[in-house]
Chain A
Amino acid sequence: MIRLGHIAVRGQCTEGPFAGTLELSKGLQVISADNAFGKSLAVKSVAWCLGVEPIFGIFSNDATCFPQAVLERLQLQEGLFSDVLSSECEIGIVHDDGRKLQLTRAIKGDTSTVIVREEAEGQRVRESKLLARRETMQDETGGLQHFLFTWLGWPRVKVPTFKGTLSEVYLENLVPSFYIDQTEGWTELQAQQIGRYQQLEIKEIAVEYLLGAVDAINARVAQRQSLQQQAAQREAARSIAERVNHLADWRDWSIDWSGNGSITDIIKRWSAQSLREAFKKDAHVDLPQTISSLSQRVTRLRESLAKDGVDRHNTSAPTELSQRAIDLKQRRHALNESLSTLRIQKEQTDELLSSLEHRIQSASDLLRFKNTGIGRLDHIECPTCHRDLDPATFALTNQSAQSVGVHIESLKRDREMMASNGHSIDTGIRTTRATLQALDVELREAERALMNVTAAAGAEREQIAKIVAELASLERQIDRAREAMAEMDEIQADINRWIAEAQSSVALPTSSVDFSQRMAAFLDALRKYLIELQHSEVSASSAASLSLDELYVPYLDTRRLRSLGSASDHSRLTMAYALGLAAAGTRPTGLHPGLVLLDEPLQQNPDPKHRTRFMQFLGKDLARTASFQTIIFTSLRTDEVSSLRKQGVSVQTPPGKKWLQLLPVPKPPNKTPAPPSEPQGDVKS
Chain B
Amino acid sequence: MPNRSAIATLSELLEESHAKPKMRIERLAPSAIYDLDYRVFVVAAAFERHAKAAPPIGRRIHATRLKLLQFIAIRPRLLPVIKAWSTAKPDEELTFTTQDLRRGFLGDQMFDSVVAFLVARGALEWMDTQLVEGKNAVLLSAIHTAAIDSGLFELERQTIEALRGIKLTVRMLEGE
A351-B77, A377-B139 known; A362+B155 contact, CB < 8 A: yes
On chain B, the residues within 8 Å of A381 by CB distance are 121
Contact A398 B122 (CB under 8 A): no
Contact B117 A394 (CB under 8 A): yes
Closest to A376 in B: B37
| A404 interface contact, C-beta 8 A | yes
Contact A377 B38 (CB under 8 A): no
Interface string of A389-420 (1 = CB under 8 A from B): 10100111111000110110110000000000
Which of B10-18, B28-36, B164-172 touches A?
Answer: B28-36
| B136 interface contact, C-beta 8 A | yes
* A383 to B110 alpha-carbon distance, docked (Å): 22
A365-B152, A375-B142, A396-B110 known; A391+B117 contact, CB < 8 A: yes
* A398 to B41 alpha-carbon distance, docked (Å): 13
Contact A374 B152 (CB under 8 A): yes
Q: How distant is A342 from chain B, measured CB to nearest CB, in Å?
A: 21
Contact A372 B150 (CB under 8 A): yes
On chain A, the residues within 8 Å of B27 by CB distance are 410
A374-B150, A375-B147 known; A394+B26 contact, CB < 8 A: no
| B53 interface contact, C-beta 8 A | no
Contact B26 A354 (CB under 8 A): no
On chain A, the residues within 8 Å of B87 by CB distance are none
* A375 to B151 alpha-carbon distance, docked (Å): 13
Closest to B77 in A: A355
| B113 interface contact, C-beta 8 A | yes
Contact A394 B113 (CB under 8 A): yes
A358-B155, A382-B120, A383-B121 known; A370+B37 contact, CB < 8 A: yes
Contact of B40 among A362, A377, A399 (CB under 8 A): A377
* A354 to B78 alpha-carbon distance, docked (Å): 12
Q: Which of A354-372 contact B (CB under 8 A)?
A: 354-355, 358-359, 361-363, 365-366, 368-370, 372
Contact of A383 among B32, B34, B136 (CB under 8 A): B136
Q: Which of B1-25 contact A (CB under 8 A)?
A: 1-2
* A354 to B19 alpha-carbon distance, docked (Å): 35
* A363 to B37 alpha-carbon distance, docked (Å): 11
Closest to B151 in A: A365
Contact A399 B143 (CB under 8 A): no
Contact A403 B29 (CB under 8 A): yes
Contact B32 A368 (CB under 8 A): no
On chain B, the residues within 8 Å of A406 by CB distance are 26, 29
Contact A383 B113 (CB under 8 A): no
Contact B120 A375 (CB under 8 A): no
Interface centre among A358, A374, A376, A389 (most CB of B within 10 A): A374
* A382 to B153 alpha-carbon distance, docked (Å): 28
| A380 interface contact, C-beta 8 A | yes
Closest to B42 in A: A362
On chain B, the residues within 8 Å of A404 by CB distance are 29, 32, 35
On chain A, the residues within 8 Å of B114 by CB distance are 394, 396
A383-B136, A396-B114 known; A374+B146 contact, CB < 8 A: yes
Q: How distant is A386 from chain B, measured CB to nearest CB, in Å?
A: 11
Contact A396 B117 (CB under 8 A): yes
**Size of chain A's interface in residues, with CB distance under 8 A?**
36
On chain B, the residues within 8 Å of A368 by CB distance are 150, 152
Contact of A361 among B26, B39, B155 (CB under 8 A): B155
Contact B77 A399 (CB under 8 A): no
Interface secondary structure of B, over-half rule: helix
* A169 to B31 alpha-carbon distance, docked (Å): 52
On chain A, the residues within 8 Å of B149 by CB distance are 374
Interface centre among A358, A372, A381 (most CB of B within 10 A): A358
On chain A, the residues within 8 Å of B77 by CB distance are 351, 354-355, 358
| B94 interface contact, C-beta 8 A | no
On chain A, the residues within 8 Å of B35 by CB distance are 366, 397-399, 404
* A409 to B30 alpha-carbon distance, docked (Å): 12
A359-B31, A407-B30 known; A365+B120 contact, CB < 8 A: no
Interface string of A504-518 (1 = CB under 8 A from B): 000000000000000
* A152 to B35 alpha-carbon distance, docked (Å): 66
* A351 to B76 alpha-carbon distance, docked (Å): 12
* A381 to B154 alpha-carbon distance, docked (Å): 29
Closest to A405 in B: B29
Contact A398 B135 (CB under 8 A): no
Closest to B1 in A: A397
Contact A366 B26 (CB under 8 A): no
| B162 interface contact, C-beta 8 A | no
Contact A396 B31 (CB under 8 A): no
Contact B147 A389 (CB under 8 A): no
Q: Which of A157-205 contact B (CB under 8 A)?
A: none
Interface string of B24-67 (1 = CB under 8 A from A): 00110111101111111100000000000000000000000000
* A419 to B113 alpha-carbon distance, docked (Å): 36
Contact B30 A403 (CB under 8 A): yes
Interface string of A488-509 (1 = CB under 8 A from B): 0000000000000000000000
Binding site for A on B (CB under 8 A): 1-2, 26-27, 29-32, 34-41, 74, 76-77, 109-110, 113-114, 116-117, 120-122, 135-136, 139, 142-147, 149-150, 152-156
3 cross-chain pairs, A with B, having the tightest CB-CB distances, nearest first: A375-B146, A375-B143, A407-B29
Write 22 A-B pairs (CB below 8 A) sorted by A numbering: A351-B77, A355-B77, A361-B155, A362-B153, A363-B32, A368-B152, A369-B37, A369-B152, A372-B150, A375-B143, A375-B145, A376-B143, A377-B143, A383-B136, A394-B120, A395-B109, A396-B113, A399-B35, A399-B36, A404-B35, A407-B29, A409-B29
